[in-house]
């Protein structure tokens, strides 16, 4: 009984304060609760109020701010996007690995064309000509010289823009 007495006393005080508040203020004098924000474009809401003791009305503009996220990126989304390589049907073994994983083990040429011998991470060797698709990101061998192969890939950044990236694979010599 002793433990319940302070709890009952607190409840009685809260109820008495609520009754006093409701009887003291009339419906027009009570503070108004703010209205929930509506979606879509809004016009400024103008409220007319009367100051106590004044005879003329005062106009106070109340403008609610609304955030529109259309066309903006998600602020909680990470800026670093890992692209998953798509496995294409009928993709060559050269398109199964990243360009940086290949080693150029030999370059040979005829009168008008260069050829490169590229070694994949699994130990297989492939012949690469200019225009040969290579790499995970739609790369192509664009230029082969006496000591290197230049591969151009097309990568997407975090915004979805496609940019080209050139990777130079140098001839890997055993005696160096």
Domain assignment present for residue 78? The answer is no
- Which structural domain, as residue segments, surrounds residue 119? 93-170
Judge whether residue 45 has pLDDT over 60. Answer: no
Judge whether residue 27 has pLDDT over 90. Answer: no
**Residue bearing the bigger pLDDT, 162 or 30:** 162
- Main-chain dihedrals φ then ψ at residue 164, nearest 5 degrees: -90, 150
Domain assignment present for residue 38? The answer is no
Domain assignment present for residue 118? The answer is yes
Domain assignment present for residue 109? The answer is yes
Write the CATH number for 131.
2.30.30.830
Domain assignment present for residue 163? The answer is yes
**Residue bearing the bigger pLDDT, 64 or 141:** 141
DSSP characters over 95-131: GGS-GGG-EEEEEEE-SS-EEEEEE-TTS-EEEE-TT
Domain assignment present for residue 123? The answer is yes
Q: How confident is the model at residue 65 (pLDDT cuts 50, 70, 90)?
A: confident
Query: How many domains are there within the chain?
Result: 1
Domain assignment present for residue 58? The answer is no
Question: What's this model's pTM, rounded to 2 decimal places?
Answer: 0.48
Judge whether residue 54 has pLDDT over 70. Answer: no
pLDDT value at residue 87? 53
């Amino acid at each position: 009984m002793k433990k319940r007495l302070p709890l009952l006393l607190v409840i009685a005080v809260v109820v008495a304060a609520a009754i006093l508040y409701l009887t003291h203020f009339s419906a027009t004098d009570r503070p108004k609760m703010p209205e929930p924000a509506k979606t879509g474009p809004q016009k400024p809401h103008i409220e007319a109020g009367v100051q106590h003791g004044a005879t003329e009305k005062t106009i106070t503009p109340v403008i609610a701010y609304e955030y529109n996220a259309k066309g903006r990126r998600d602020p909680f989304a990470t800026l670093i996007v890992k692209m998953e390589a798509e496995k294409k049907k009928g993709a060559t073994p050269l398109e199964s690995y990243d360009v940086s994983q290949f080693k150029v083990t030999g370059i040979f040429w005829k009168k008008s064309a260069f050829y490169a011998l590229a070694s994949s991470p699994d130990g297989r060797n492939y012949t690469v000509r200019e225009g040969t698709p290579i790499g995970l990101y739609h790369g192509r061998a664009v230029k082969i010289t006496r000591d290197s192969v230049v591969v151009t890939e097309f990568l997407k950044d975090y915004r979805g823009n496609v940019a080209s990236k050139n990777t130079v694979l140098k001839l890997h010599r055993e005696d160096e």
